[in-house]
Structure formats: C-alpha cells, structure tokens
Chains A and B, each alone.
Chain A
Amino acid sequence: MSTATVDTTGLAHGPSHDDHSHDDGTGHASDVAGLDEHGGAHGDAHGGHQTATGVSNEKLGMWVFLGSECLLFGALISTYLVYKGRSVSGPQPKQIFDIPYTSLSSFVLLMSSLTMVLALSACRRGDGPRTRIWLAVTALLGSIFIGGQVYEFTSFIREGLTIKTNLFGSSFFVLTGFHGVHVTLGILMLLTLTLLSWRGKVGQHNAEVIEIVGLYWHFVDVVWIVIFTVVYLIK
C-alpha cells in the first residue's frame, strides 16, 4: 500500500494525528486535518467549539487583528519620527516632557499586564473570585494610566502645545491619543468580563475569552513600551 502525504496549509495544532488515520476497508486511510469520522475537529479549544484548523477561530482572529494593529501603530510612530525636530514654533519635547511622571504611568501599565495574566491563571484554575479581583485591578490600573494621560494632555495644552500648534503636537497627540483610545476600549472589555464572570457566564469552561481580551491588553502594553522609548526617552 502506498501512502501519499499531502501537507495542508491549515493551522492545525497539536501532536501528530497518526493514531487517528482511518482505514475504511478499501485501503484508503485518511486523516484530514484532525477531522474525525463525524467531520468534527479534534482540536477543541478549551472545551468550546470545534474548528477545521484545530486552532480557535476567535484566537486566530485576534492574532490577525493584532498583526494589522502593528501596521497602524507602525505608521503612527513613523509619522512621529519623521516630523520629530521639524517644528519651527511652539513647545518642543524637551521643554514639556515630564519623564519621571510618564515613567510611573508606564510602570502602572506594565503591572496591569501582570494582573491580566494572573486573572487568566485564576480563571483556568476555576477560581472565580480571584479572576474577578484581578480583572478589576487590571481595569483600575488601566484607568490610572488613562487618568495620567488626560492629566498630561491637559498640562501640555496649558503650556501651549495643542494638536494644531506644530508638527510635534500633531503627531504626538495623534499617536498617544490613538493608544489611549485602545487602552480605554480595553478597560471597557475588562469591566464587561468582570461583570460576565460575576454572573457566571465566564469561567473555567470558557477561559479563552479572558485569554483573547488579555492578548489585546498585552498588545496595548507592548505598543506603549515602544512609544515610551521612542517618544519620551530617546532625545
């Protein structure tokens, strides 16, 4: 019996499925991307749905979205760098940035990533109360970060730097403003998850929901790591 092996380009995940090859008695053994005899996939992400690829569609979708977000922030950071140092009037970065203050904000956002993974970890253990506490703490830390950004923007405007003042002002407010909007959306998602967990709709059986929101939250954190270095620290 000859065996023809076809390599799919699917996103199946997991160890070899040799054990699942079926011989239907006609000599045609087949193992199609983990599909069982009922047409369902073996890769059942966290007890939820079944997918032909073996990878959760929702999680895959979030990664594709995050990949596209890299382009959005890449374009915004590029614009900031291109316009950096080209302003002929108005306040310059060196005059208005408060590095210790922004460092503290960055630290707060970094720690929110820790509380996010602790929430996921608690959820996977089936510890509902701790899941809700860590989710709420993550939302609180995110809110502190946003509050700090609002305060920073207000103080910049008082010092004469608005989005219309110069190239630096335009590119700075657009870049950090877009990031702030992302953080705000993340806070709303976290609060929604906390509420759903409270009602028992999110738990160990569908911890992947928290993982997906966590991916988004960690992404806004890594974007801030880049913004903090490129915009604030590099002179």
Chain B
Amino acid sequence: MSATRIRLPDEDYKGPMLGAPHDGHPGDAQYIGIAIILSVLTGIEVAVSYITGIGAGAVPVLLGLAAIKFAIVGAYFMHLKFDTRYFRRLFITGIVLALFCYIVVLSQFKFFPWLK
C-alpha cells in the first residue's frame, strides 16, 4: 500500500499563519523607531552629498545608504521579513532583472560606442 503526501513548499515557514493574528509584526512603537532610523539615514545621505572632500567616494556611500533604507522599508513596512519567502523572492526577482537591464544598457554603450 502506498500513501501519497504532497509536501507543502514552505513547510519550514516560521512566521504567523495566514488568517492568524499578526503577532510577529512590529508594534506601533517599533514602526516609529524604524521611521526615526530612516530619517537619520536620509539626513546622513544629504550631509554626505554636501561633503565635497570625499569626491567620487561619496557614490558608494550614498548607494549603500539608499540600499539600507530600501531594505528596511521592504523588510519592516512591506512585511517581507515576516511574510512567506515567496513574496520576497518575487520582489527580489524584479529587482535583479531591473539591475540586469541597467547593466545590459550600460554595457551596450561601453562596448558598442557607435550606439551613443
């Protein structure tokens, strides 16, 4: 006799069940704390853009700060940290494809200068 059991794809999911109270989500105080962190990061970004001594070194710093802000909003405000991983994968796929699109466009201009 055989028993067929179709395994759920996300059985190791540790977050709250759909339909259950969202106890794993941050509370209002935590959301406000996250917003303060985002504001501070924005302030640092603007300050860095005004520091002329850094020169081209400001670019990776600014991109890094933007990436951190992006990740914080995605993880906490969009609940990617608490929801099923499939939502995270869908979103990351879009971002990766967008980066790929950018790299391809830039490479076209770099390697095929007649396209300029």
Distance of A170 Cα from B45 Cα, bound (Å): 26
- Known A1-B1, A14-B13, A70-B97: A113·B6 in contact at CB below 8 Å: no
Contact residues of B between 84 and 105, Cβ < 8 Å to A: 84, 86-87, 90-91, 93-95, 97-99, 101-102, 105
Distance of A34 Cα from B5 Cα, bound (Å): 11
Q: Is A152 an interface residue (CB 8 A)?
A: no
- Known A54-B18, A70-B95: A28·B3 in contact at CB below 8 Å: yes
Contact with A along B15-40 (1 / 0, CB 8 A): 00111011001011001101100110
- Known A8-B8, A121-B28, A234-B62: A69·B2 in contact at CB below 8 Å: no
- A14 CB to closest chain B CB, in angstroms? 5
- Known A1-B2, A28-B2, A31-B6: A221·B106 in contact at CB below 8 Å: no
Total chain B interface residues with beta-carbon distance under 8 A: 62
Contact with B along A3-23 (1 / 0, CB 8 A): 111111111111111000101
Q: Are A225 and B69 in contact (CB under 8 A)?
A: yes
Residue of A nearest to B103 (CB): A78
Distance of A30 Cα from B4 Cα, bound (Å): 5
Total chain A interface residues with beta-carbon distance under 8 A: 84
Q: Is A195 an interface residue (CB 8 A)?
A: no
Distance of A66 Cα from B62 Cα, bound (Å): 24
- Known A28-B3, A235-B49: A78·B18 in contact at CB below 8 Å: no
Q: Are A17 and B42 in contact (CB under 8 A)?
A: no
Distance of A225 Cα from B19 Cα, bound (Å): 32
Could you say which residues of chain A place their CB within 8 Å of the CB of B7?
A: 5-8
Q: Are A226 and B46 in contact (CB under 8 A)?
A: no
Could you say which residues of chain B place their CB within 8 Å of the CB of A55?
A: 18, 84, 86
Chain A interface, >50% SS class: helix
Q: Are B84 and A64 in contact (CB under 8 A)?
A: no
- B72 CB to closest chain A CB, in angstroms? 9
Could you say which residues of chain A place their CB within 8 Å of the CB of B49?
A: 99, 232-235
- B77 CB to closest chain A CB, in angstroms? 5
Could you say which residues of chain A place their CB within 8 Å of the CB of B73?
A: 113, 218, 221-222, 225
Residue of A nearest to B108 (CB): A82
Distance of A15 Cα from B39 Cα, bound (Å): 36
- Seen from chain B, the residues whose Cβ lies within 8 Å of a Cβ on chain A are 1-11, 13, 17-19, 21-22, 25, 27-28, 31-32, 34-35, 38-39, 42, 45-46, 48-50, 58-59, 62-63, 65-66, 69-70, 73-74, 76-79, 84, 86-87, 90-91, 93-95, 97-99, 101-102, 105-106, 109
